[in-house]
Amino acid sequence: MKLDVLKNMSYGMYIIGARDEKMVGCVANTVVQITNDPITFIVSLNKNNVTTKTILKTKKFSVSILDEETNPEVIGTFGYHTSREIDKYENIDYHEVDGLPVLEDSCGYITCEVINILETTTHLVILGKVLTMDGYKDIKPMTYRFYHEQLKGKSPKTAPTYIPETNTKKTVWKCKVCGYEVEMDKLPEDYRCPICGQPMTAFERIEK
């Protein structure tokens, strides 16, 4: 199979939020409207995510729509760390809607009530009926292609759209904090991770 075909599929970039004893969240790219009466969305999340487990318990979730001006560190925080270990909202501007966290650094948000769940091998497809939609800003939303091509971001293995790397050998530097990878012979001394802001000393050289 030609896995590169998957790179031409269109996706957005979103922060999925939930709340139980504490607020949790994660990055998702698979959020799709499937009906308009009632307005219903699906989101695909890894079964082992803290956010997923919280949504299963509380039956509610929020979706913050990231835009091209979103600080990449937001993606680093929500995409490459776990809510088991850190408070992802500690340094993030947000407010609550329907008891759920939504990001200020977004071009709109929705909140949903879970109405059904479909199970796959590694992910759950969660159907949610919209409770609230607001926060619209006339800013270009971030696409998955923009994330990969402009921010040079990588998909973690827990992402539903993760594609294994090919066997072509190349020199890659990997951030030990967030997992961001950049292909370059040598990193400049003033280089900083565009996702989590770490200096070049936080990178390790790997061969691929």
- pLDDT of residue 150 exceeding 70, the answer is no
Spatial separation of the C-alpha atoms in residues 100 and 9, rounded to whole Å: 30
Spatial separation of the C-alpha atoms in residues 57 and 52, rounded to whole Å: 9
For the chain, give the number of residues: 208
* DSSP-derived pairing of the beta strands 109-119 and 100-103: unpaired
Radius of gyration of the chain (CA): 17
What tens digit of pLDDT does each residue of 67-112 get?
988 888 898 889 888 898 899 999 899 999 999 999 998 999 999 9
Which secondary-structure segment (H or E) carries 19? strand 14-19
> Structure pTM?
0.78
Q: State mean pLDDT over 47-57.
A: 96
Spatial separation of the C-alpha atoms in residues 101 and 172, rounded to whole Å: 36
Q: State mean pLDDT over 46-58.
A: 96
What tens digit of pLDDT does each residue of 190-205 get?
898 888 888 989 999 9
* Neighbouring-strand partners of residue 28: 14
Distances (CA, A) of 69 to 37, 73, 82, 139, 142: 32, 11, 24, 8, 8
Cβ-count burial of 107 within 10 angstroms (0-12 exposed, 13-18 middle, 19+ buried)? buried
Secondary structure (H, E, C), 58-111: HCEEEEEECECCCCHHHHHHHHCCCCCCCCCCCCCCEEEECCEEEECCCCCEEE
Structure-model confidence comparison of residues 57 and 190, the more confident one: 57
